[in-house]
Structures are given as C-alpha cells and as structure tokens.
Structure 1
C-alpha cells in the first residue's frame, strides 16, 4: 500500500500541535507502506528532514507561486480569508499534484485538514481521507466570545462581521467535505455532530513517552512554579498566557507569595513582554521541554480559545505533573475533573485550583499518578497508530468491495 499526504505544513518544521499530529500520522501510515508528502505552503521550502524520517519522498509548492485576480479578490472579500485562499490556490495545487504524482500509483490520499481537501480534491482518483483535527468554525466562534479576533487583538465591528462570514463558510465546508471524502478523521469525539451522516473515525492526539521515569521536582524550600508551555506565537496560546499572567497569577500570589510563573516555548513579542510582571519568567526556544515540565509543580492550560485536543496536557501527564485546565483546554480528552486534573473556566476558580495543588503535595501527587495511568493506557502513539490503521483498512476494504 502507498499513501500520499497532502498538507500545508511540514511535520518536522514547527513545534505546534498540528505538526506533532502530522508526524504521528505519517509514522502510523508508514506501518502500512511507503508514504509520500506533498506540501503547498506559504513558508517556502523547509530545511532537510531530520534523521529517521519515514517519508519516501516529498515535494513543496510555494503558495506565492499561485495566481490571483481581481475577481478572486472580490470573492475573498465576500467569503473571508479561507474561502479566498482556496480560490487562489486550488488550480495550482491540482495541477502540481497531478504533475508530481504522474507515474506513481497510490491506494489512498490523506488530506491534512479540510482546507487541503477543499483545494486538492479530485486531483487523483483514489479514496480520500480528511484529518479534520481542528474545527475552524468552533475556533472562530470562541474568539468572538472572548471579544478578540484570531490574532488575539481587540475585536472590531468590521472584524466581527468578517469572522461571522468565515464561520458560515467553514460550516458550509464541513458539509462539502462530508459529502466528498470517503472518511473524516477527528481528534475530538464531540466534533462528530458537525458532520452529519459522514463516515467518521476517531484518531486521538498522543504524546511520545519520555525517556526514563517521570520525576517531578523534589521538595524543600523553593519557589512554587506554575508552567504554561507550548508554541507561544500561536494566538490562542498568546491569549492564554496573557490571561494567566494578568488575571490568574495575582490571585494565586495572594495565597502563595513565592509563586513563579514560567512561560516556555517559542514566543511572540507580546508573550516576551509579560516578563515585566513580578515573578514571571519567559523562556524562549527551549531545547528540552520535558526538563522544563518536570521542574514545574503545576502545569496550567488556561486556554479560552481552541479546537481539537491539546497535546500540552498529555505532555504534562506523561511527565507526572499535575494539571489545572479550562474546559476548552481539556476538550476531547477522556479525563475526569478531580481525578486526572482540575478544571475551571473563570479566573477566580482557576486560581483557587492552582493554590490547592501548590499547597497540598499529596493531592498534587495523586492527580499526577492517575493522569499518568490514563496517559499510558490511552494516549501513547500506539493508540493513534492502531486507530489510524483500522480506519485506513476500512476505507480500502470498502473501496475494493465497491469496485468488485
């Protein structure tokens, strides 16, 4: 069996959750046979793949090479940015896909997210699978709810109207993809209702097991550390970091004076600026995030905007560190509040949960242990690979049955 993945990102360039998921998918598909990767991206040709890549071959087409017209510009103004981007790039993607794969036979094509199916479908006549991962209409609606645009800036009336158009466009896109693809893959079972009667499979987000045993910080006099880690140029993470530092941490510090808040990961200037607050440390370009996680007392996931599932919680679980999260942050994970983590959606209760865990070592240890057990059972890469292989084999079986 040979698979073609069509994407707009590379699995080894970005530390984002989407890139991590694509890497897991690529490795899972490789257990079934050779995997090729076609990328149309606005960031250009990436660095060479790291040692151990499982790709047979890959190809990049820069989006800057796609053509644009006044008519498309007007349509983009009416449809919003994603619709305009599809119109602007579809012709080039289809042509380049057909040119690059000429002479190569594929058994299945895997589209990384709906957007790439919308601009690439029909290029190759083989069964198609779409990894939805994030429902963008959900993400945009949550930005409106916190009165910000998708760049984590104050929401203007003009931006709100544009976002409402884009939400409607994405909901229409869900219907098109549901009718056109052979299978939709979701990371969050709650998204199932958005796709009508489409055939759906659940492939969970996972996290690779860390080397060695989980080893949280030892006791003794020291500061109490709250950690928020991740790709901190991503606007939902920027909003979360700001909310943690400006609204939650001051409430925690009233009860825990030695509090230290650590923001770790590739940062934007807006996140770096948060270091001006007392007790806040910003750590950019972390070489070993696992070490940073293990040095925390509590990992915070104060996300107010998001879709899909968040890998940063699984990272904390795998390293044996207790978690306080919003409901949005933990969405899509099979967790129970008070058993695997603490949940709170308002600054005051979120701060109270952090205080309880920082002051109660036994409670913190209990949550970390039960969360680690859940991670080991359900969220290691094998879980995703098993679900992925089952889904692909089902699609191929149906395709053979129809053609016979």
Structure 2
C-alpha cells in the first residue's frame, strides 16, 4: 500500500538536528544559549538524544557517548540552527492544519462550516506558536493556587530573615523596606561620574551572593580590579593602597581567606562588543543550574557602553531602547532582578530627575525602580561624604530619599545612622 503524503513531513531537517546536537556536545554551554528555542516538539529525530544531553549538562556531568552523533559535524552556528528548527516546527503546525483542510474541500462539508473549523484550528496553532515564544499561557484560575503558594513563601521568608525584603536584599534596610528588595524586573541605578555607582552595585552583589548567585557584567573596569574592590569592601581595606603598591599583602591575604568563600556565588564577566543578550541569559541559566536555585541578580555596568557596541539601528536612542526591552524580557525569563547602571545626560548630571537618564524615554517606562545617587550638603567626616539615594520610581511601593554616607577609600555605603 502506498504511503499517504504528509505535507508536514516536508518541514523537517534531520541533518540540522544532528548537527545542532553535535555542536552542543562539543561546547556544552551552547545548550543554555539554545534552550528557549527547543521546547518539546521542535526536534523530530533527535529528541531522545537531546534529553540525554540536557540531563548531563544540567547536572554538570560529562555527556555520555551517543553513537548516532559519532560521525556528525557540528553546526557552526547553534543559535541559528535552533531558530531554524523552531521555524520548521511552526510550519509543521500550519501544515498539519492545511492538509486536512484541503482534503475536506473535496468533500460534502459546507464552506461556512469549513471556515469556522479552520478559524478554530488556526487559533489553536497561533496559541501554540505564541506559547513557544513567550512561555505557556495559563488562566487566572489555574494560577491562583500558585499565587497563594508564592505569597506564603514570601511571608515565611520575611519571618525567617527578620527583614521586609521579599526580593533579593540590597543590604540597605530602608531601601529594602521601600522597594521590597530587588524583585523580578528591571532596576536602574544612575549618578554623575565618580559618585559611587559601581561601588554600590558591587556592595549589593556581595550581599546578594550570600543567599543567591550574582552576575556582574562590567564594560568599565577589569575583573581583577572589581575583585579586589569587592574584597576590600568586605574587609574595610583601602583598595588604592594595593593598586599603588603600598598595601599590606598579609592583610589582603587574610581578607581573601576570610571573605573569599562568601563570594563563591559572585560571578564577574568582562563585557565586550561581542557579548549578546542571549549569551548573557545563557550564562545566567548556567549559573542558576550550577547553584540549583531559581533566582539570581544580574548587574550591567553600564547600559550606554554596551549599547554603543550595537549597530541594529541608526539612532542611538533606538539601540538603547531595544537593549532595555531585551534585558527586561531576560529578567522575566529568569524570574530575577536585573540592575542596570546608567549614565546621565550632560544637563541632568547630579539630579534625580528621570529625564536625566541618557536616552531616558525607554528607561523611564521600562524600569520597575529607578535609583539616583545624589550629592548631599549634609556634613560628613572626610574622606567620607554624604550622599542621598533617591528612589524616583518604584513600581512596588513608595518613593523617597535615603540618606547615606559613602567612604570612597573603601568603596562602601552605609545608612547615615549606622556610622
């Protein structure tokens, strides 16, 4: 008996599937970069092998030999291959609808009934494609038990820690009380040059790393400098002395032994023009899997420097806007906060106006919270100086001003009453 023609069968590419799997085996971190493009159904011949690979990568174990892939050459661009396979999957869904439709055209069914059936099926396919792109759609009724569970978990966390931060804690108690800690979403930190943006971000990252992974992406400073700055913050050592060659190495060695283990969940990435948002997301997913947790903090230092390396639009504000939108999507995908350091435009430096954010339009609307470090006229004992942390936008509650003291020689901020 002749086999029945399958229209959907025209939209498969087994060779590309095997080449993609071979690429992941040769470079396991590519698994994380392609993860979102490969939900169940995308692979037609390689799903079983993919599940073996996934189990090994997520457990951080060696990938066992897969005989089928012994002679397969890896694809040079796994991300492109994954997107192409996802596109074929979407076409298969459409083909599965079109073939029965064309067969029914030859039958006795009335045209209006066939159109109605087609509309229902097309809606189902559109839903499947949308869910593939954005995650599974669920009704509010189905989500309510999960909401109750999450609220109970937050309440339990507050009871256990004695803090009011339901998000990841910043270590600044008044800020945690005001914004509820760094919750899932996009958070902006801005100030004029030299006001301590990087120092505050490092301080927050080290605090978070005590309970969840923190990933700091720097387009400004070298990783060794950031590492030294973080250790000096923890040990109250003056970083400049070590860079000038005048520091006490015995003190530094003691600090590294004492505080190094506390920073095991604190990761640094040196940003470059080659770094993409999908690669950043892949790194974060890999770190989450390594620590067997479901939330982390990502810090970008700084936004405009990263955006300047991108060329997808002619106008810089559009480039910044696209980058902000991508980062917000990643925050939601990771269920984690992303703290983005931003520069201020020349006319707004030193202020706490949201319009002072360089290329401010998209930042102002996309951010869940916007923080500014602003010089204060309050007295302080030099070299310490008074600084106000302005919470100018807060999607989670009130706005306000938090008085801080900044000790630039050590690089730490403290609430004024705590000095």
Scaled by the length of structure 2, the TM-score of the pair is 0.29
**Structure whose CA Rg is larger:** 2
